[in-house]
Chains A and B, each alone.
With several copies, the nearest count.
Chain A
Amino acid sequence: MHMADALLSPTVGAAMWAVSAGGVALCSARLCRERDDRLAPLMGVLGGFLFAAQMINFSIPGTGSSGHLTGGLLLAILLGPSAALLTVASVLMIQAFFFADGGLLALGCNIFNLGIVPALLVYPLCYRRLIGTAPGRLRETVVTFVSALLAMQLGALSVVLETAASGISALPLDKFLLLMQPIHLAIGLVEGAVTLAVVSFLRKARPELLARQSGPSATSTRLTLAGCLICALLIAGGLSRFASVKPDGLEWSVAKLTGATSLPEHRAGLPALLTALQHKTARFPEYQIAPAAAPGQAPAAASTAPQGMAVAGKGSGVAGAVGTVITVLLVAGAALILRRSGRAAVAPEA
């Protein structure tokens, strides 16, 4: 359930980038402070493990389909929340760059859905609270299942919210929810089962590995606070989109919020660039998105859409189509010429 660039609006994308960059920065700083030099190679290879594990499937009995491990919760149990977040984020980043799984803008959303949710929200707030210090068999089973389910449900929920807030998909919010949540109920159960099985395998084979994480974490309260803040940011960002009729409302609120969190990554680097660009483009009339929940009124909505449709009046559909074809031809031609000339230029050198 990777979020994809094509379903995202730049505002939502930038907001989620900011949130995820903040999370990654926070966790990097924490790890830097801990200075456990064993952690660098361990996180690296466990990321590789996660990646490799996701390529192995198992068949889910009775359905004929197959599943695999997402791993956010498992890594949090093994490495602690900060290292787990960085590891999941790095796997997602490789997937974005090499398999274009998701995409570069959607990376922020994906890190949030699959990394921050299980590692910084569910693990400290649910798993650690419930599991206690010396859990029995039953308790461990129940808590692991509940945590995995919760992580999956929250992840799926944020996919839905992000998609809806972006407004590219016409899928109504309620239908989308009804589609996503039950599917992820099943996936969450499977995730819980695999996590539990792997943890108990490790407990039998190398108990000392799990002992590392069983002590109470001193910084968990701060992490929890950070989690709450992030959550608030998300909800504020998502809801303000729905609440505000004024298209600029979200940009304004996000800019204000990201400014207020005063994490350095928000002002420097990519997110700032994204928001700045968004501000520039937003000076021109923003297209009102047709209210997806009211499909019958689409023509009316279209007529209110200020620009795109205004040019695309009745007759100009043809003009658009002709123009599209010509543009494609032009692009292809340019590429061919470039390739030829490139070859000609390179050939004498070589």
Chain B
Amino acid sequence: MSHHILEIDHLRHVYPDGTEALREVSFSVCHGESVAVIGANGAGKSTLLAHLNGHLLPHSGEVRIGHVPVCRTNLDEARRTVGMVFQDPDDQLFMPTVYEDVAFGPLNLGLSGPELQNCVAGALRRVDAEHLAGKAPYHLSAGEKRRVAIATVLSMSPDILVMDEPTNGLDPYARRQLIGFLKDFHHSKIITSHDLDMVLEVCERTVVLSQGVVRADGPTLEIFRDEALLRECRLEKPLSMQGCPVCGT
């Protein structure tokens, strides 16, 4: 059994106003696996992700990272292990320059001097954004912001990368670039998105969430072939699969 496994076990979350956002969610992620979590608006995707690094704590059930349940006492550990990229990169970039932003996490982890510099430069290199180091975040384009946001997380060398709607607002080229990067990145990944074509390319496994329950969990292609299931969950086939003259329809 690998150390990097993530297990979500009968997770239930009720917001204080009574909204039952997650009712019964169970699945687990193996080391190196790419899992997509898809579902309609309000299905509970973002709520689920917020549990992975302990931002929200479960009402019942638990989240285990490497067999250790996430709870108040080991939040720091969970946050280092799970790197979270937010839906809106503007939320994530808050320091005056890109360099400082990427260095923020490692600094708080206690790195300094050349070690810190290497770490930051490495993270920026991986997302192909070294030339942006001195810029202010509010001067970046949407695609650049997204890449820098990923770098801020990579600099803490997380074991699992979690992304909320990463292709939102990107132009087709930047999107393609991001997909290429995600495919090359051999970490465990959990990605939520409404961009099912991206899911099809990046993730080998898909979990379908509907009104706070897991409706399906399996190989991505199989899920996307099940039209009845998709329709029920307010989804549809990825656009590139719609109307292919060769296979089906």
A208: Cβ under 8 A from any B Cβ = yes
A222: Cβ under 8 A from any B Cβ = no
Q: Given that A41-B94, A201-B96 are known contacts, is A208 also in contact with B16, CB under 8 Å in the complex?
A: yes
Main secondary structure of the interface of B (DSSP, over half): loop
Complex contacts, B136 vs chain A, CB 8 Å: 204-205
Q: How many angstroms from the CA of A205 to the CA of B136 in the assembled complex?
A: 8
Q: How big is the A interface, by class?
A: under 10
B138: Cβ under 8 A from any A Cβ = yes
Q: How many angstroms from the CA of A204 to the CA of B136 in the assembled complex?
A: 10
Q: How many angstroms from the CA of A208 to the CA of B18 in the assembled complex?
A: 13
Complex contacts, A204 vs chain B, CB 8 Å: 96, 136
Instruction: Map CB proximity to A onto B123-139 as digits: 1 under 8 Å, 0 otherwise.
Output: 00000000000001010
Contact A205 B138 (CB under 8 A): yes
A41 nearest CB neighbor, chain B only: B94
Question: Could you say which of A44, A201, A205, A208 has the most chain B C-beta atoms within 10 Å of its C-beta?
Answer: A205
Q: How many angstroms from the CA of A154 to the CA of B16 in the assembled complex?
A: 39
A200 nearest CB neighbor, chain B only: B96
Complex contacts, B138 vs chain A, CB 8 Å: 205
- B234 CB to closest chain A CB (Å) equals 26
- A56 CB to closest chain B CB (Å) equals 11
B137 nearest CB neighbor, chain A only: A205
- In the complex, chain A residues 192-216 whose Cβ is within 8 Å of any chain B Cβ: 201, 204-205, 208
- B140 CB to closest chain A CB (Å) equals 13
Count how many chain B residues have C-beta atoms less than 8 Å from C-beta atoms of the other chain.
5
Q: How many angstroms from the CA of A44 to the CA of B16 in the assembled complex?
A: 25
- In the complex, chain B residues 214-235 whose Cβ is within 8 Å of any chain A Cβ: none
- B17 CB to closest chain A CB (Å) equals 8
Q: How many angstroms from the CA of A168 to the CA of B210 in the assembled complex?
A: 57
Q: How many angstroms from the CA of A204 to the CA of B138 in the assembled complex?
A: 11
Complex contacts, A201 vs chain B, CB 8 Å: 96
Complex contacts, B94 vs chain A, CB 8 Å: 41, 44
Complex contacts, B16 vs chain A, CB 8 Å: 208
A40 nearest CB neighbor, chain B only: B94
B96 nearest CB neighbor, chain A only: A201
- A323 CB to closest chain B CB (Å) equals 39
Complex contacts, B96 vs chain A, CB 8 Å: 201, 204
Instruction: Map CB proximity to A onto B86-123 as digits: 1 under 8 Å, 0 otherwise.
Output: 00000000101000000000000000000000000000
Q: How many angstroms from the CA of A205 to the CA of B139 in the assembled complex?
A: 9
Complex contacts, A208 vs chain B, CB 8 Å: 16
B16 nearest CB neighbor, chain A only: A208
Q: How many angstroms from the CA of A86 to the CA of B131 in the assembled complex?
A: 35
A205 nearest CB neighbor, chain B only: B138
Q: How many angstroms from the CA of A208 to the CA of B17 in the assembled complex?
A: 9
Q: How many angstroms from the CA of A67 to the CA of B94 in the assembled complex?
A: 19
- In the complex, chain B residues 1-60 whose Cβ is within 8 Å of any chain A Cβ: 16
- In the complex, chain A residues 19-44 whose Cβ is within 8 Å of any chain B Cβ: 41, 44
Complex contacts, A41 vs chain B, CB 8 Å: 94
Instruction: Map CB proximity to B onto A33-72 as digits: 1 under 8 Å, 0 otherwise.
Output: 0000000010010000000000000000000000000000
Complex contacts, A205 vs chain B, CB 8 Å: 136, 138
Q: How many angstroms from the CA of A41 to the CA of B90 in the assembled complex?
A: 13
Complex contacts, A44 vs chain B, CB 8 Å: 94
Q: How many angstroms from the CA of A208 to the CA of B16 in the assembled complex?
A: 9
Q: How many angstroms from the CA of A41 to the CA of B94 in the assembled complex?
A: 9
Q: How many angstroms from the CA of A209 to the CA of B214 in the assembled complex?
A: 32
- B98 CB to closest chain A CB (Å) equals 14
- B130 CB to closest chain A CB (Å) equals 22
Q: How many angstroms from the CA of A201 to the CA of B96 in the assembled complex?
A: 8
Q: How many angstroms from the CA of A26 to the CA of B136 in the assembled complex?
A: 32
- B87 CB to closest chain A CB (Å) equals 17
Instruction: Map CB proximity to B onto A106-130 as digits: 1 under 8 Å, 0 otherwise.
Output: 0000000000000000000000000
Q: How many angstroms from the CA of A41 to the CA of B91 in the assembled complex?
A: 10
- In the complex, chain B residues 132-172 whose Cβ is within 8 Å of any chain A Cβ: 136, 138
Q: How many angstroms from the CA of A41 to the CA of B96 in the assembled complex?
A: 14
- B15 CB to closest chain A CB (Å) equals 10
Q: How many angstroms from the CA of A183 to the CA of B177 in the assembled complex?
A: 53
Q: How many angstroms from the CA of A205 to the CA of B94 in the assembled complex?
A: 13
Q: How many angstroms from the CA of A74 to the CA of B240 in the assembled complex?
A: 52
Q: How many angstroms from the CA of A208 to the CA of B15 in the assembled complex?
A: 12
- In the complex, chain A residues 269-309 whose Cβ is within 8 Å of any chain B Cβ: none
Q: How many angstroms from the CA of A201 to the CA of B16 in the assembled complex?
A: 18
Q: How many angstroms from the CA of A234 to the CA of B16 in the assembled complex?
A: 43
- A69 CB to closest chain B CB (Å) equals 15
Q: How many angstroms from the CA of A79 to the CA of B136 in the assembled complex?
A: 25
- B31 CB to closest chain A CB (Å) equals 32
- A62 CB to closest chain B CB (Å) equals 18
Q: How many angstroms from the CA of A205 to the CA of B138 in the assembled complex?
A: 8
Q: How many angstroms from the CA of A204 to the CA of B16 in the assembled complex?
A: 14
B136 nearest CB neighbor, chain A only: A205
Q: How many angstroms from the CA of A201 to the CA of B100 in the assembled complex?
A: 14
* Given A41-B94, A201-B96, A204-B136: 5 more A-B contacts, CB < 8 Å: A44-B94, A204-B96, A205-B136, A205-B138, A208-B16
Contacts from A to B (Cβ < 8 Å): 41, 44, 201, 204-205, 208
**Which 5 pairs show the lowest CB-CB distances between chains A and B?**
A208-B16, A205-B138, A205-B136, A201-B96, A41-B94
8 sample A-B contacts, Cβ–Cβ < 8 Å, listed by A number: A41-B94, A44-B94, A201-B96, A204-B96, A204-B136, A205-B136, A205-B138, A208-B16
Contacts from B to A (Cβ < 8 Å): 16, 94, 96, 136, 138
